[in-house]
Structures are given as C-alpha cells and as structure tokens.
Amino acid sequence: MAEPSFNEQFDWHSAWRREMRLRLKVLGDWLREQQLLDDGGEERLQRLTDQLRSDKVMVAFVAEFSRGKSELINAVFFAGYGRRIMPASAGRTTMCPTELGYEAALPPCLRLLPIETRLQPQTLLEWRLVPEKWMRLDLDVNDPDQLANAMQKVSEVMHVTQDEARALGFWHDDRPWDNPPVNAGGAVEVPRWRHALINMAHPLLRQGLVVLDTPGLNAIGAEPELTVNLIPQAQAVVFILGADTGVTKSDLAIWREHLATMEGSAGSRFVVLNKIDTLWDELSSPEQIDRQIARQCADTAQTLSLEAKQVLALSAQKGLLAKVRGDTALLAESQLPRFEQLLGRQVLGARQAMLAGAIGATVARVQTEAERTLGARRREVAEQVLELESLRGKNHQVVRQMRLRVEREKAEFDRSAASVLAVRSVHVKLLRELFMLLGSASIKRELLGLSTTLREPGVKFGVRKAYARGFDNLRGVVREVQRLEREIHTMLASSFRQINTDFGFALQVAEPPTMDRFESDLDAVERSHLQYLGVGNLVQLARPEFADRLVRALLARVRSIFETALGEIELWNKSVSSQLDTQMRERRRAYGRRIDAIQRIQDAASGLERRIAEIAEQEGALDAAEQRLRMLSRDLRHDASAAVPEALPESVSA
C-alpha cells in the first residue's frame, strides 16, 4: 500500500483531535451529572478541549530567493487545485513574509501590510490588531485562477531612493553585495508589502495548519520579529537549497543568522535540496545521478552540522506536475512523497505526542479529584449508617437528642470554617505578589537596562553584556516565582493538614507547575537574539528604528512566555481552591442529609429501616460511579497515547 501524503496524515491527525474532544465531552458531561467536577477540573477540561479544537501546527519554509520554496508549498499543500496557487515563476516571487491560515470569523481574504509601517515602532503582533492599516483583497477559494492572481500581490515591489531603502532596512552601506537591485534611474527595488496574511478555508488550514512562507535573506534580516519570534515557534522549519548549487554563501548566512540557534528547540528542522531534476542528465546513468545527489546531501549535512537524515533531496516542480497529471511514476521519481511522509511523522507525531501527554495528565488530575470527592461521600455514608444503626430500638427522646447533636456539629463546623478564610487570605496575598512578578511592568523593569542599551545611538559594542544582565534578571524573576510557589505550597500543605485533622477532610496540595521550561524558553530567546546580532546585524542595530523594533519584539516574546507561566499558575491555584470548596460543600450536604434522615425517623416509626436501606443503595451507587470513572479515564488515556504514532497507518510509521 502506498504511504499517505502529508495531507492525508494531517486529516488523520485532525480526526484524532476531534475524537479526543468528543471523548473529553463525554467524560465532562458524566462528571457534571454526578456532581464530581469542581471549578478547577472544569477549567482543565475546557482548556484542553479548546487546545484540541484550535491547536495550530506551523510549518515555516525558509530559503534564499529562487530556491523553489513557493513551488514546494504548492506541491505539498495546493496540488489539488490543479495549478500553481503561490507565485513560483523564475526570479524573485515571494517578496514579503506570507502566512496562510484560517480564522472562521473572517471571510476568505488576502491582507497586506504596507512596507512603510517599518518606519513606525509597532511590532507585527501590534499591527495585527489594527486591521484598517492592512489592504484587504477578498478571495474566491472556488476559483483557482482568481486565487492564483490574487496571490501575485505578494510579489509586488516598489522603487525608492537609497535613503528610503536604508530607513526601511533594505540598504546596507557596509554590505553592498547584499543590497537589492537598482534601476537605471538609481532607484532601489524593495517589497511593496511588509507582511501578508492569507485566510482561506483550505481543508488543511481549517484543521489548524499554518504555512509561513518567508522571503530571502535581505527581507528576513530586516524584520527581527520573524527571526526571534515567529520562526522559532514553528513546529517545523524547512530550509530549501538548490540541489545543483548546494550551500551557497547567502544560504549559509540565512542558516547561521536565523536557523542555527534552533538546535535543541521543540521545532524540527529539515533541509531540502530542491530541483534534483536539474541533475537528471541523459548522459549519466541513474546510478551516477543517485550518487551525485547522495554526495550533495552528505556535503550539505556536513556543512550545516546536521544528521544525514535531516537532509532530503527532491524536485518540487516535478512533484507538483506529477500530482496534477496523476503520474505516479514521476511522483515517485520526484521524491516528494518521502518528504511528505517525513514531515507528517516528525511534525504531526511530535504534536500528537504532546497533546496525548496533555490529555493523560489532565484526565489523571480530574480523576484524582473526582475519586477524592467520592471518597468523602463514602466516608459520610459510612458514618450515617453507623449513626442510624445506633438508633435501633431507641425512643423518640434519643432520636431528638441525636438531631440536636448533629445540628450543633453543623453550627460548630460553620463557625470553624472561618479559619479557611484566613488560609485564603494568606494564599491570595502570596499569589498577588507572584502575579506582579510575571506582569508587564516587571518585564519592562528587568529589561530596562537592556532596552536602554539597545536604543542608545551608534554601534552597541557592549550589547552582549547587556543581554546577559537582562536575561539574568528575567531568570531571577522565574526563580523567585519558583520560590514563591514553594512557599505557597508549604503554607497550603501545613494548613491542609490542620484542616484535615479538624474536619476529617482528605485535602492534598498538588505540586506547583515547574518553571524549568520557562527558564529554558528564555535561554532560547537569548540565544536567538545573540546569534541574530552576532552575524552582521550590529550595524543595523545602530539605526534607532531597527533597535526599537528589536526591543518591542523581545518584550512581546518574553511577555508571551510569562503569560503562559501565569496561566499554569492560575490553573494550579484554581485546582487547589476548588478542592477545598468541594470538600466544604460535600460536608455541608452531608450534614443536611443526616438531619433530614433523623427528621424522617422522627416523623415515621418505619423510617429508620427504610433510611438505612436507602443509604445501602447509595453505597452501591458510589461503587458503580467509581468503576465508571476509572473506566472512562483509563480508556481515554489509553486511546490517546496508543494513537501515537499509530494514529497514522502502520505504513506511515514503518
């Protein structure tokens, strides 16, 4: 059986996500019906469901001009249209970074941000929030010709003076060989657009795929946000070279400046030697051609310090042609399917493993909390049985005294519960301090020295030391957050032990979220910035507008990391609070049931035996609920993890 394409693998991945969402809904509905889902569990399930629904898989394609990058995107994602969608003619095609994705709230459209916005300090993220500044062109996704014609907009250029090109970041007096073309009148050719966003309901895009098509070295280098924010967050980065040329000087510059720092990151890097059809020489035997291609792959892997398996050779043009014509022999010869299968296994497999891990952890946590609630109910039922059995043969006076005793216990419990408010007060105070550490004001304060250094006029020779100090400050913040987490955990553990002793509860404090990965994220951001500035961009940094964009990009990235950490801490806090609220609520309900049972016994002589029988039925219902909970949780965790990587057919993972 032929191995499936990336498109087919993505379809299976999306079907798996839909099934997991449905299974989580079944579990959540049952837990609510049984009143076993507290606020913390509710939010955990909701966050996980939202993540499964809106999870994005970004694949970034990076290359110097004329390496066949847009053609590869056409071949992998858009061959079903029967023609090229992304412009892929000879020469420079994609002149600005282009994102293809899907937002249900928007109609199919192409949005273009004018290049002149580079003269203003706002980051790309900030410009996304100002839709009126983008030129919008509606798309007809059912008309391939109209779609392809609209995509030609990303190839548009304009001509400006050298001073304007310099201000926009495209002209470098110290690197004349990197400067863009100049026409007969001395005007410089620059992209008309700074960034393009394509929103269309392509099946893959609807399911969460985001394709990032980047232009050549000059355009990437002038947009620091691409290098230090957008590209590093992609699940896969595909770096395209020419099979006939191998690694050129400009290719090596892109690799060193923008991709080399990704080593060890979550993203997968692939290097594609495109246009192997240029090596299909009729005067050479197929074996000679294969040896030549293998030699180019080996040389490329050595030059870029990569493992051989990360370098593939193919012909995007022949692969697209083969798909359009339905020519299976040419498709196999193009070697495009091999790339698609590797992309599917590595990218989707890793993504699915991450989601499966999140499902397992969330379901296990929700199950633990539900079992704790069931345990509390079981203890209350056992106490009721003992209490009621002690009334056998007793007169009304004894029953009345028992009711008064239970009512006194309830009143004492309500008064003693005020001590819980004191615990909450200390808890909230510590949390407020923790939240301030992760807020925007804290980030700006810790990076003030670095921001000041970057914005100083002239060449910043001391920028590396400034980065070291700034990121040491940020790592200090993360460690202080970790210390406060431990302090909160210790305080809650001590308080919960006392509350458990006083009220017979079974409260447990879960371990707080670890901050290690956020410190690692900061390390990766620092590496990407230093790498970016260390290979030729220090001169660009002398330009105030470039430095300002870099500072804003840095603040946005760090803010994103800290907000993620804050979200995990808030969820942990809600889980802890909900556990206490649940056990308090269960105890109050238990007192109500005990008083009600005694009242019914007072009202009817036969009420005692009937009530004992009812409680016995409750014990059976609790046993059944616990078995059902374990079955739902076990099956969901098993099916989520068992589908990685077997969510794809065996031929894919073989």
Query: Does residue 204 surpass a pLDDT of 70?
Result: yes
* Interval 545-562 mean pLDDT: 86
Q: Could you report the per-residue pLDDT of 519-544, keeping only the tens digit for each?
A: 988 998 888 888 777 655 666 677 77
Query: Does residue 395 surpass a pLDDT of 70?
Result: no
Q: What CATH architecture applies to the domain 51-156+192-351?
A: 3-Layer(aba) Sandwich (3.40)
Query: Does residue 411 surpass a pLDDT of 70?
Result: yes
Distances in whole angstroms, Cα of residue 127 to Cα of each of 194, 196, 299: 11, 12, 42
More reliable by pLDDT, 361 or 179? 361
CB 41 within 8 A of CB 31: yes
Q: What residues does 99 pair with on adjacent strands?
A: 197, 212
Q: Could you report the per-residue pLDDT of 451-498, keeping only the tens digit for each?
A: 988 888 777 777 889 999 999 999 999 999 999 999 889 988 888 888
Question: How far is 431 from 484, CA to CA, in rounded Å?
Answer: 8
Band of residue 576 on the pLDDT scale cut at 50, 70, 90: confident
Question: How far is 278 from 71, CA to CA, in rounded Å?
Answer: 15
In the chain, where are the structural domains located?
A: 51-156+192-351, 390-603
Question: How far is 213 from 238, CA to CA, in rounded Å?
Answer: 10
Band of residue 333 on the pLDDT scale cut at 50, 70, 90: very high
3-state secondary structure 325-390: HCCHHHHHHHCHHHHHHHHHHHHHHHHHHHHHHHHHHHHHHHHHHHHHHHHHHHHHHHHHHHHHHC
CB 180 within 8 A of CB 218: yes
Question: How far is 490 from 576, CA to CA, in rounded Å?
Answer: 13
Check residue 537 and give its pLDDT. 65
Query: Does residue 217 surpass a pLDDT of 80?
Result: no
Q: What residues does 209 pair with on adjacent strands?
A: 57
Q: Could you report the per-residue pLDDT of 102-133, keeping only the tens digit for each?
A: 988 889 999 999 999 988 878 888 898 899 99
More reliable by pLDDT, 581 or 539? 581
Residue 47 dihedral angles phi and psi, to the nearest 5°: -60, -45
Q: How many helices (H) and strands (E) does the chain have?
A: 25, 11
Q: What angle do CA 316, 318, 323 make, to 5 degrees?
A: 95
Query: Does residue 564 surpass a pLDDT of 80?
Result: yes
Check residue 651 and give its pLDDT. 39
**Range scoring the smallest mean pLDDT among 32-46, 344-358, 414-428, 637-651:** 637-651
Closest CA relative to residue 42, chosen from 571, 458, 505, 486 = 571
Prediction pTM value: 0.73
Query: Does residue 3 surpass a pLDDT of 70?
Result: no
Query: Does residue 589 surpass a pLDDT of 50?
Result: yes
Query: Does residue 90 surpass a pLDDT of 60?
Result: no
**DSSP 3-state assignment of 101?**
strand
Q: How far is CA 564 from the centre of its chain?
A: 10
CB 304 within 8 A of CB 271: yes
Question: How far is 422 from 419, CA to CA, in rounded Å?
Answer: 5
Check residue 647 and give its pLDDT. 42
Q: What residues does 274 pair with on adjacent strands?
A: 242
Cis amide bond preceding 457, omega within 30 = no
CB 197 within 8 A of CB 99: yes
Band of residue 650 on the pLDDT scale cut at 50, 70, 90: very low
Closest CA relative to residue 193, chosen from 99, 101, 116 = 116
Query: Does residue 85 surpass a pLDDT of 90?
Result: no
Band of residue 218 on the pLDDT scale cut at 50, 70, 90: low
DSSP state of 182: B
More reliable by pLDDT, 54 or 479? 479
Check residue 653 and give its pLDDT. 37
pLDDT > 70: what percent of the chain? 89
Query: Does residue 244 surpass a pLDDT of 50?
Result: yes
* Interval 133-157 mean pLDDT: 88
Q: Could you report the per-residue pLDDT of 162-179, keeping only the tens digit for each?
A: 888 888 878 877 777 777
CB 454 within 8 A of CB 460: yes
